[in-house]
Amino acid sequence: MRPDYRTRFAPSPTGLLHLGHAFSALTAWDRAQAVGGSFLLRMEDIDRPRCRPEFEQAIYEDLQWLGLSWPRPFRQSDRMGSYRAALGRLGMSGLIYPCRCTRADIKAALSAPQEGVPVGPDAVIYPGTCRGRGMEEAGPDDALRLDMRRAVASLGNAGFQENGPLYPGWHRLDPDQLVAELGDVVLARRDIGTSYHVAVVVDDAAQRVTEVVRGVDLFSATPIHRLLQVLLELPHPNYWHHDLIRDEHGKRLAKRDDARAIRAYRAEGATPEDIRRMVGL
């Protein structure tokens, strides 16, 4: 038994939960249950225009129907002050800079000498046009980017423990790889004032999560999260990345696949046990 084990499910209320979400939530729940630990919930609703209260309500209902329960959930829209504080700290350390480039600017800068466009989990690798601008120059419409070259100087031997079935083991962070494959990632979007990366790291620490259970599509973002934990001196959880549930054509399920929504199966009379079976649990 490990009562100190804490995991979470962190959906964005931008659509109905589908079988892929059920798999993720149930995997986290089962892992917590197995050791007598805690299962927590977090609404990742920073992207306000895309989030809807009725989806948030539907998430609570569907998860309850599946048999899950949780203490008072976190809502990221209530926590903007904590994200600003984290960004302020990175700013004081000279690790972020304001960027006013549009997508078109970035594309133009990249098409000059390079062959093709390097692609990271956040789309293209930023060519560094605004790097070197001071935070005192930040305008209200600027994004904030991490100066990756500077940031990796603090990395030391940092890595993360992956417990999931796909890439188990210790993954040491490689500074050169972070610079080459991720580059100066956006830490505050101009429209929402923060980013998924900052919010997830700050909240996993605030919720005292000891193991992050989530889809393998986020495995490539984990080095960014681990780096931010180092820079912000936050405790670091272990990770469990699971495979994605796919449709019969091998395509991963998306929120717009309403046909696979948990609601749709419920309406057809499926039981929570049927859902478990469908996702292979």
Contact status: 11 vs ligand GLU (CB under 6 A): yes
Nearer to ligand GLU, 98 or 237 (CB): 237
Task: Give the whole-angstrom CA distance, residue 185 versus residue 124.
Answer: 9
Task: Give the whole-angstrom CA distance, residue 63 versus residue 8.
Answer: 13
Task: Give the whole-angstrom CA distance, residue 173 versus residue 75.
Answer: 30
- DSSP output for 48-66: GGG--HHHHHHHHHHHHHT
Nearer to ligand GLU, 216 or 218 (CB): 218
From 4-12, 97-105, 117-125, 179-187, span contacting ligand GLU (CB under 6 A) = 4-12
CA 125, 128, 129, 134 dihedral sign is positive
Contact status: 218 vs ligand GLU (CB under 6 A): yes
From 9-17, 90-98, 122-130, 152-160, span contacting ligand GLU (CB under 6 A) = 9-17
Instruction: Confirm if 1 and 251 have CB atoms less than 8 A apart.
Output: no
What pairing do the DSSP bridges indicate for beta strands 119-120 and 6-9?
A: unpaired
Site size toward ligand GLU, by CB under 6 A: 7
**Least Cβ distance, residue 24 to ligand GLU (angstroms):** 8
From 7-15, 56-64, 121-129, 184-192, span contacting ligand GLU (CB under 6 A) = 7-15
Interface pick for ligand GLU out of 7, 10, 41, 186 (rule CB under 6 A): 10
Instruction: Confirm if 144 and 186 have CB atoms less than 8 A apart.
Output: yes
**Least Cβ distance, residue 28 to ligand GLU (angstroms):** 9
| In the block, residue with structure tokens 């419920």 | 266
Q: Largest alpha-carbon pair distance within the chain?
A: 59
Nearest to 109 by CA among 96, 100, 121: 100
| In the block, residue with structure tokens 């949780």 | 70
Of residues 118-177, those binding ligand GLU (CB under 6 A): none
Interface pick for ligand GLU out of 26, 200, 209, 262 (rule CB under 6 A): 200
**Least Cβ distance, residue 170 to ligand GLU (angstroms):** 20
Task: Using CB positions, name the residue nearest to ligand GLU.
Answer: 214
Exposed e or buried b for every residue in 56-67, given b needs 16+ CB within 10 A?
A: bebbeebbeebe
Of residues 27-86, those binding ligand GLU (CB under 6 A): 44
Nearer to ligand GLU, 99 or 186 (CB): 186
The angle subtended at Cα 74 by Cα 66 and Cα 24, nearest 5°, is 35
Nearer to ligand GLU, 200 or 202 (CB): 200
Task: Report CA 221 to chain centroid distance, whole Å.
Answer: 7
From 8-16, 47-55, 91-99, 102-110, span contacting ligand GLU (CB under 6 A) = 8-16
Contacting positions for ligand GLU (CB under 6 A): 10-12, 44, 200, 214, 218
